[in-house]
Amino acid sequence: MSSESSKKIFNSLQTRQRANEFLRFHGLIMTLSHRVGDINLEKLIRDVFKNGDPTWLGVVKEDLPDLFSGDIKKSDIDVLDTVKSMIENSDQVKVEISFEPSDQFITDFINILEINLDNSLNKGFVVEFDVIEDMDMGARFYMNGKFLDLTIRSQVENYLISNDVVNRYI
């Protein structure tokens, strides 16, 4: 059960930004575990995430309901530690795009990676989206020192080169 919870929470993170938020949350919980007396976790979370609750926090509340009631159990902490460890051991992916990606896009993006890339160790992916507004349409993909140019310009140029358009038509 805890493993599934950890997996579920990890899968809800998906991006580097959310993973960092989770690590801050994990740190907060670790400090609270030694605290004595009543704990208003909701208030503490709002203090940490002033821009609103992260999307992944709903999954945590769903799988670890006791944690938000002020009763920090060892099993819950283990789940959070596992998630932290999964984040640290995950494959880090960086993507440059010209827009803020939608959640669906992020999910589909990771699904494509999980389906098409060898991930036998089931380490999971954490994607860092770097938004560059004046960038050409498409994306640039970096992972473990490897690079894929997914911009439309590059695709068209490759198409022109592969079809020898310059020599054939110019």
Instruction: Indicate whether 135 belongs to the interface with other proteins (CB under 8 A).
Output: no
- Tell me which of 99, 130, 132, 163 binds other proteins, using CB under 8 A: 99
Which of the ranges 12-20, 30-38, 44-52, 110-118 carries the binding residues for other proteins, by CB under 8 A? 110-118
The whole-angstrom separation of Cα 125 and Cα 110 is 7
Q: How far is the CB of 166 from other proteins (least distance, A)?
A: 6
For 9, counting Cβ atoms within 10 Å of its Cβ (0-12 exposed, 13-18 middle, 19+ buried), the class is buried
| Contacts of the segment 64-70: beta carbons below 8 A, 24+ positions apart | 64/5, 67/29, 67/41, 68/41, 68/42, 70/38, 70/39, 70/40, 70/41
Q: How far is the CB of 105 from other proteins (least distance, A)?
A: 4
Instruction: Indicate whether 132 belongs to the interface with other proteins (CB under 8 A).
Output: no
Of 66 and 159, nearer to other proteins (C-beta) is 159
Instruction: Indicate whether 146 belongs to the interface with other proteins (CB under 8 A).
Output: yes
Query: Strands 146-149 and 139-143: what pairing?
Result: antiparallel
- Tell me which of 88, 105, 132, 163 binds other proteins, using CB under 8 A: 105
Helices (H) and strands (E) in the chain, counts: 8, 4
The whole-angstrom separation of Cα 158 and Cα 161 is 5
Binding residues (CB under 8 A) for other proteins: these are 91, 97, 99, 101-102, 104-105, 108-109, 112-113, 116-118, 137-139, 141, 143-144, 146, 148, 150, 152-153, 155-157, 159-160, 165-166, 170
